[in-house]
Structure 1
Amino acid sequence: MSAENITYNGQADAPANNRIWRGRLTFVMAAAGSAVGLGNLWKFPYIAGENGGGAFVLVYLACILLFGIPLLMAEIGIGRATRLNAVDAFGNLAGKAGASKGWKAIGGLAICTSYLILSFYIVVAGWCLYYFWITANGTFNTAGTTIDTAFTGGTFENLLGDPVTLIIFSVIFLLITFSIISSGIEKGIEKAINWLMPSLMLMLAVLIGYSAANGNFEAAVDFLFSADFSKLSSEAIFIAVGHSFFTLSLASAAIITYGAYMPANSSITKTAFAVAGIDTLVALTAGLAIFPLVFQYGLEPGAGPGLMFISLPLIFSDMPYGQLFGSLFFFMLFIAALTSAISLMEPTVAWLERRFNLRRKTAAGLTTLSLWIVSLGTVFSLNIWNSPVFFGKTFFDALDYLTANVFMSFGAMATAVFCGFALRQPQLEAMFSTDPKAIPVFRVVIRYVVPAFVAVLVISAF
């Protein structure tokens, strides 16, 4: 019997390598873990509060419904219908539809996007590990030490200016990611996600309770949820469109790759709504964990990385059990970064396995080694190589700009055109085998609504 015909968990269409999630819930948690990243824990609560609170959240949810979820469904469907990596998935469906095999390039672009994002993401994730370590060992709670913004700001600046420390902690984070990916789907990714996501939720709940007891919870709720429609400017709508796109890990091959391991009997529509719901819930509850403390101490909520690595350590140094809860906070950031990193590495590893017939550990090892080499560009751009290399941007800023504003936008547009115009009815039926009634609505939205949203996104970016 050929490998392709072996059934797995009763499914005749399981991947040739027999990799598949144990159930729909595991896929939901994995995809939500991909979507929930560092940006969710500070950026979304801030932009929501600054752009109308509850009014912005309503616009954001509309964007998720009209734009994010259709693309999420498309990518899940492409992966599950083919059981292949992103490159071969596009090629397979294009071939069956009688379209050009050149569509494979879209899958290649998506894998390239996830790889480049991860190359600088591991450096930022290393910051979280470093801060977990120094917070746990009492750096910000040392008796006799004056802890002020000069101290916390200097600590952060010293970190960015120290390439050796940056490399050490980014390598630690990268090796943790490698150990999970190289262990496979069931023993590695699935097992890790089943622990990491519930742990993230639990830590968020604990931190919300801590913030409610020690911070200005009422001000945080007002900031996040009071609907102020006067702040809903065109710029605010652009922000909502952009964040709804980037928050779901779209156009980065992660969802296509995870979709290839999705059980055949799971509803794509219900799954997409569940993933988007969890992602939004985590983002909003993160605001309830952070902003009560921010408002209690009269700090600026929109300080971005400075809020996490300069302002919050100052707060934790002055609060009851600050060392414990500060450590918990930075460990939560580490977990959020890790769930995203796993999903960003998997597309490259899956492609290398099939393209060059490599063992999983070999593919994961090659990916890890090359990522470390590329990540050095980001590390050095923060200190000894802090000079413009591309349109006035440093290496780090250039990668961030290209992936977020060029590669992902183009990939999303191409995916919408592919599903809306290149694919025929049989391919759509294969993608939505569990949701055939969703096809007519999906086709209209993916053809006309999604491209319009991407166009808005591109206009706002430039």
Structure 2
Amino acid sequence: MNNDAVIIEENSKPVDRIWRGKITFVMAAAGSAVGLGNMWKFPYIAGENGGGAFVLVYLACILCFGIPLLMAEIGMGRMGRSNAQNTFRILRRESGSKGPWGVVGALAIVTSYLILSFYIVVAGWCLYYLWITVNGQFNIPGQILDKSVTGGMFDNLLASPQTLIIFSVVFLLITFGIVSSGIKNGIEKTVNWMMPSLMLILVLLIGYSIRNGDFSAAVHFLFNADFHKLTLNAIIVAVGHSFFTLSLASGSMITYGSYMSAKSSVVKTSLAVAGIDTLVALTAGLTIFPLVFEHGLEPGAGPGLVFISLPLLFGDMPYGQLFGTIFFLMLFVAALTSAISLMEPTVAWLEQRFFLSRTRAALLTTLTVWLVSLGTVFSLNIWDNPMFFGKTFFDALDYLTANILMTAGGLATALFCGYCLKEHQLEQMFGGNRAVIVPFRIAMRYVVPLFVVVLAIGPI
């Protein structure tokens, strides 16, 4: 049986794995988009690049670039009803176009797989800090915390391959357990309680921050529109974050879209997902920064803020152990919902390409991802010397996925939708809503490629 015959057979099968409701799909897709970057990266880059001015540019990028590409991936997935690689092949065949477009879908699957391999290591940090916070490591009587102490804790974590492996494996096994249980019994049930739980945790934490932190300073940091800081580099940062925060070009949204009901609106769903993603990022900033400013800490970006600065507060503030536990639980939940969506494209491909059971496909993915993740683990300690074009294994993998594979995948997806898909396919994608087709085509042909080019040349 040739590949086209396999594609036709798969596409003609009745789809028994459909999200039970519209809200469920929104929760799943939003869970994919909401990740660790929302919790520590977006608030910082917004504050450092003009606050409200940056937020306005970011929202414009989301509307002009992120949402159209999100609509494209979700819509393609629903039409193809298959894995990312087959979706491109199916739609290419139906459009009568030529070219190896299946390669684009294959690269998206590879991208999600590689990202998952280092994402589980970083997520393992969150799980480790949740564990030591629950056990009161930052609240030992008589212990005086300063940055040398909390920084030493973080350095010791990175220097210990055994600890990194243990917690990344635990996180990976949890992800495996959910994904291997299936769409309805695993992923759907999980996101239906995890995303509302994440929202509830954010509400609890922001209430605590309003009561115990400098909330006005945080609002000023995030929303004061300082257009003098809105440089060309700030605009490029906004473009980049609007692209990466929505899990685009990684096969996740195409795969999740393949389980989407035909009755759901691609446009409304995409708007809802982008809205939740942005709301979570802003709320996370209003949770963290009131406490940071109240205690005179620097709002440093990335892991330094979360794993070095904030533990100082947990050891000093009222109910710090409880607050710290809830905070790292929030990070764990955000990381887990994203990891699930990163594993799913590979599992779906293995199921359909090699006719494996879901359990075997998930197990094979888990075992091989763990092996690749060891490169990231060891690059943080025993292999910390630059090995690949002046980068460590971890940094090289991060650069490859973010700057090359995702950028190329986003551009190829836009060109495919803009020039290959026919009128009747776009009508099917948008449920007969012809008013969307013209602006969507303009976005795919001109706007999105322009944004991707800006993103590509930005780091140069």
Q: What TM-score results when the alignment is normalised by the length of structure 2? A: 0.96
2:22 corresponds in structure 1 to 24
* Runs of 5+ consecutive residues of structure 2 not aligned to the other structure: 1-10
Q: Distance in 1 between matches of 2:459 and 2:402?
A: 9
Corresponding letter in the other structure for 2:131: W
Corresponding letter in the other structure for 2:180: S
Q: Distance in 2 between matches of 1:412 and 1:145?
A: 50
> Which residue among 201, 218, 221 is the counterpart of 2:219?
221
Is 1:184 aligned with 2:182?
yes
2:201 corresponds in structure 1 to 203
Corresponding letter in the other structure for 1:48: A
Query: Aligned with 1:56: secondary structure?
Result: helix
1:418 corresponds in structure 2 to 416
1:132 corresponds in structure 2 to 130
| CA gap 1:354/1:207 in 2 versus in 1, 3 angstroms | same
1:365 corresponds in structure 2 to 363
1:4 corresponds in structure 2 to none
Query: Aligned with 1:263: secondary structure?
Result: coil
After superposition, the C-alpha distances for 1:230-262 in whole angstroms (9 at most, x for unaligned) are: 211111111111100000000000000000011
Deviation at 1:15, TM superposition (A): 6.3
> Which residue among 229, 243, 257 is the counterpart of 1:231?
229
After superposition, the C-alpha distances for 1:22-57 in whole angstroms (9 at most, x for unaligned) are: 111111111111010001001101111111111111
Is the CA contact (8 Å cut-off) linking 2:44 and 2:301 kept in structure 1? no
Mean CA deviation greater in 49-58 or 346-355: 49-58
Query: Aligned with 2:269: secondary structure?
Result: helix
Q: Distance in 2 between matches of 1:403 and 1:389?
A: 17
The 5 A counterparts of 1:13-412 are: 16-100=14-98, 102-412=100-410
Q: Distance in 2 between matches of 1:87 and 1:279?
A: 26
Q: Distance in 2 between matches of 1:217 and 1:292?
A: 5
Deviation at 1:388, TM superposition (A): 1.2
Deviation at 1:86, TM superposition (A): 0.2
| CA gap 1:15/1:404 in 2 versus in 1, 3 angstroms | farther
Q: Distance in 2 between matches of 1:168 and 1:394?
A: 21
Corresponding letter in the other structure for 1:194: N
Q: Distance in 2 between matches of 1:382 and 1:16?
A: 47
Query: Aligned with 1:448: secondary structure?
Result: helix
2:433 corresponds in structure 1 to 435
Q: Distance in 2 between matches of 1:48 and 1:136?
A: 31
Query: Aligned with 1:141: secondary structure?
Result: coil
Is the CA contact (8 Å cut-off) linking 1:114 and 1:344 kept in structure 2? yes
RMSD over aligned Cα, in angstroms? 1.1
| CA gap 1:368/1:434 in 2 versus in 1, 3 angstroms | farther
Deviation at 1:101, TM superposition (A): 5.1
Deviation at 1:144, TM superposition (A): 1.9
1:457 corresponds in structure 2 to 455
After superposition, the C-alpha distances for 1:254-310 in whole angstroms (9 at most, x for unaligned) are: 000000011101111111111000000000000010000111111111232011000
Deviation at 1:14, TM superposition (A): 9.5
Q: Distance in 2 between matches of 1:232 and 1:14?
A: 51
Is the CA contact (8 Å cut-off) linking 1:378 and 1:396 kept in structure 2? yes
Deviation at 1:320, TM superposition (A): 0.3
Q: Distance in 2 between matches of 1:16 and 1:108?
A: 24
Q: Distance in 1 between matches of 2:435 and 2:366?
A: 42
How many residue pairs match? The answer is: 450
Deviation at 1:214, TM superposition (A): 1.1
Is the CA contact (8 Å cut-off) linking 1:15 and 1:83 kept in structure 2? no
Corresponding letter in the other structure for 1:72: L
Q: Distance in 1 between matches of 2:52 and 2:220?
A: 9
Deviation at 1:63, TM superposition (A): 0.4
Query: Aligned with 2:101: secondary structure?
Result: helix
Is the CA contact (8 Å cut-off) linking 1:15 and 1:261 kept in structure 2? no
Is the CA contact (8 Å cut-off) linking 1:267 and 1:435 kept in structure 2? no
Corresponding letter in the other structure for 1:183: S
| CA gap 1:303/1:425 in 2 versus in 1, 3 angstroms | closer
Deviation at 1:437, TM superposition (A): 2.2
Query: Aligned with 2:32: secondary structure?
Result: helix
Is the CA contact (8 Å cut-off) linking 1:381 and 1:396 kept in structure 2? yes
Is the CA contact (8 Å cut-off) linking 1:177 and 1:342 kept in structure 2? yes
Mean CA deviation greater in 267-276 or 299-308: 299-308
Corresponding letter in the other structure for 1:176: I
1:7 corresponds in structure 2 to none
| CA gap 1:14/1:102 in 2 versus in 1, 3 angstroms | closer
| CA gap 1:15/1:203 in 2 versus in 1, 3 angstroms | farther
Q: Distance in 2 between matches of 1:15 and 1:201?
A: 37
Q: Distance in 2 between matches of 1:46 and 1:407?
A: 25
Deviation at 1:430, TM superposition (A): 2.3
Is the CA contact (8 Å cut-off) linking 2:117 and 2:369 kept in structure 1? yes
- The list of structure 1 runs, each at least 4 consecutive aligned residues, that deviate by more than 6 angstroms after superposition, is none
2:5 corresponds in structure 1 to none
Corresponding letter in the other structure for 1:323: Q
Query: Aligned with 2:458: secondary structure?
Result: helix
* Runs of 5+ consecutive residues of structure 1 not aligned to the other structure: 1-12
Q: Distance in 2 between matches of 1:343 and 1:234?
A: 33
